[in-house]
Chain A
Amino acid sequence: MRTERLTVVSNEPIGPYRLIRLRRSGLEAGTPGQFFMLEAPGRLLPRPFSLCLAPAGELGFLVDPIGAGTRAIAALAPGDSIRVTGPLGNGFDLSVARPLLVGGGIGIAPFPYLSERLGRPPALLGFRTAHHAEAAALVPNAEVVLDPTLVTDALPDDPGDVLACGPEPMLDALALRVPGAQLACEAPMACGYGACYGCVVPRNGSYLRLCIEGPVLLAGAA
């Protein structure tokens, strides 16, 4: 685990989201699906984000400004610096034969980096509106569905090795359809490194810390 202050290189709109690029400094990019804790200026606690893009010398994060912390991060300007810890947790298992990326909304955040590492596999992405779907441009080979069509409606009969990230109902529906799917999960998190026991999810009759046992979990292990 490593913590450094990183400088903002750029902040651009992607549909309703913001793509924040930071100078990487001494931090590693890690495995797709791993996450970083980003300081939210003016807030007490940092916020967890999976890595979206990993160009040389940079770390890119896709931010949905929906709360006080994400709004503070979305408002960062080039030259600002924030404390960043990571990479944290367990990412996707990349040893898959027929990958299919399945994502919903801001859940597509880890896919640009994941797609690059997997050689641009097919992706199936669901969004609420066409404005949100502008983010699909970040993911190669993506098929997009819009509300009320769900990604599970468009899922092929033999989907192959599913790697997914998105809202909980989407992940729950996928877990039923595709046992063995890799699901990148999310939970409110204070520390990101196993200290607070805040981000637990129920598994096998006990609570797992998502930050160190996840955030990528196998469907069917519930």
Chain B
Amino acid sequence: MTIPLLNASGCLDPLAAPDVARSLDVVVTKTITPLPRAGNPPVRIAESEHGMLNSIGLQGPGIDAFDRESVPRLSELGVPVWVSVGGFSADDYALCCARLDGDDRIAAIELNLSCPNVEEAPETAAELVAAARGATSKTLYAKLSPAQWDIAESARAVVAAGADGLSLVNTLRGLALDPVTLRPRLARGAGGYSGPGLRPVALACVHACAEAVDVPIVGMGGVFSGRDAVELAAVGASAVALGTVLFADPLAPARIRAEMEPEVAALGSEGLPGNRARLLSI
């Protein structure tokens, strides 16, 4: 068996790095919102202990320009494209999903329900998924935040509302201080924490959700090696997304794929303990 590799949304611009995009099984776009967004002021990036913080704030061209200028070029990469959709209300999610609904160049939609760097929509995750479900028949992945006491309950709610799969997990909110001034290093203060420090959190979330719901799960959070990817699959992920590691090493997909092979082979015919081999729509 093979474990498909994706990029985590916001961690790759497939058009700026087509070679990296082609080394993945699926590319996921940066989150698209109805209107163009400038994003948050810099400083946006800080390395932290065992990870990094980002505060990008959903910088993007808006759905119109994305649809007109990016989708045709993305479709020429020869890699299935998932579009990450975000917004500030249920209507925002519905609007973007309706625009993508009839477009065969888009394989699936991931709903970013948990960006830690912008104001949240007032609706619950399940309400946002229901709004998206009403606007499209496309495969919908719900991307959840790990910052909740019972993520399994959330998983059940979004699946009941129409999600076809889960993306687990988004970043955790974190803060880093300048070593001299002791002021926050990011202009907006806190940011999304990613990297190896997030790995055990992601494992716990995937494990809990795989027990709770019967849909495919894309596992992500601090994957830097083939072993890390195999561990996520072992607790129930059908595919694994790479995030921070792509910043550190553009060649990471090929390396991680090569590292996974002997790890999986060593398990023999029993295969991975938690993997129910649910197919993704890729």
A212 at the interface (CB under 8 A from B): yes
A212 & B16 in contact (Cβ 8 Å cutoff): yes
A117 at the interface (CB under 8 A from B): no
B214 at the interface (CB under 8 A from A): no
12 contacts between A and B (CB under 8 A): A3-B250, A3-B251, A44-B52, A45-B248, A194-B13, A195-B11, A195-B13, A196-B11, A197-B30, A198-B54, A200-B44, A205-B38
**Given A195-B246, A199-B45; A44-B195 close (CB under 8 Å):** yes
| Bound complex: CA A199 to CA B17 (Å) | 16
A193 & B39 in contact (Cβ 8 Å cutoff): no
B42 & A196 in contact (Cβ 8 Å cutoff): no
For B19, the chain A residues whose CB sits under 8 A away are 1
| Bound complex: CA A85 to CA B249 (Å) | 8
B46 & A188 in contact (Cβ 8 Å cutoff): yes
**Given A3-B250, A85-B250, A206-B38; A44-B45 close (CB under 8 Å):** no
Those 3 A-B pairs whose CB atoms lie nearest each other, nearest first: A194-B16, A198-B45, A191-B247
Interface size on B, residues (CB 8 A): 33
B249 & A3 in contact (Cβ 8 Å cutoff): yes
For A197, the chain B residues whose CB sits under 8 A away are 10, 13, 30, 39, 44, 56, 59
A128 at the interface (CB under 8 A from B): no
For A83, the chain B residues whose CB sits under 8 A away are 249
B16 & A198 in contact (Cβ 8 Å cutoff): no
Within residues 219 to 268 of chain B, which ones have a CB less than 8 A from any CB in chain A?
A: 244, 246-251
Contact check: which of A39, A44, A187, A206 meets B196 at CB < 8 Å?
A44
A190 & B43 in contact (Cβ 8 Å cutoff): no
| Bound complex: CA A202 to CA B41 (Å) | 8
B46 & A207 in contact (Cβ 8 Å cutoff): no
A87 at the interface (CB under 8 A from B): no
Most chain B Cβ neighbours within 10 Å, of A39, A44, A85, A199: A44
A207 & B38 in contact (Cβ 8 Å cutoff): yes
A201 at the interface (CB under 8 A from B): yes
- Taking the nearest CB of chain A, how far is it from the CB of B134, in angstroms? 31
If over half of A's interface residues share one DSSP class (helix, strand or loop), that class is named, otherwise mixed; here it is: loop
B209 at the interface (CB under 8 A from A): no
Within residues 125 to 158 of chain B, which ones have a CB less than 8 A from any CB in chain A?
A: none
| Bound complex: CA A43 to CA B195 (Å) | 11
For B39, the chain A residues whose CB sits under 8 A away are 197, 200, 207
Contact check: which of A39, A44, A189 meets B244 at CB < 8 Å?
A44
Within residues 1 to 51 of chain B, which ones have a CB less than 8 A from any CB in chain A?
A: 10-13, 16-17, 19-20, 30, 38-39, 41-47, 50-51
Not counting A85-B250, A195-B246, a sample of 8 additional A-B residue pairs whose C-beta atoms are within 8 angstroms of each other reads A3-B249, A43-B47, A188-B44, A195-B13, A195-B16, A195-B20, A199-B42, A199-B44
A104 at the interface (CB under 8 A from B): no
Q: What does the 1/0 interface line of A89-117 toward B look like (CB < 8 Å)?
A: 00000000000000000000000000000
A126 at the interface (CB under 8 A from B): no
B38 & A196 in contact (Cβ 8 Å cutoff): no
- Taking the nearest CB of chain A, how far is it from the CB of B176, in angstroms? 11
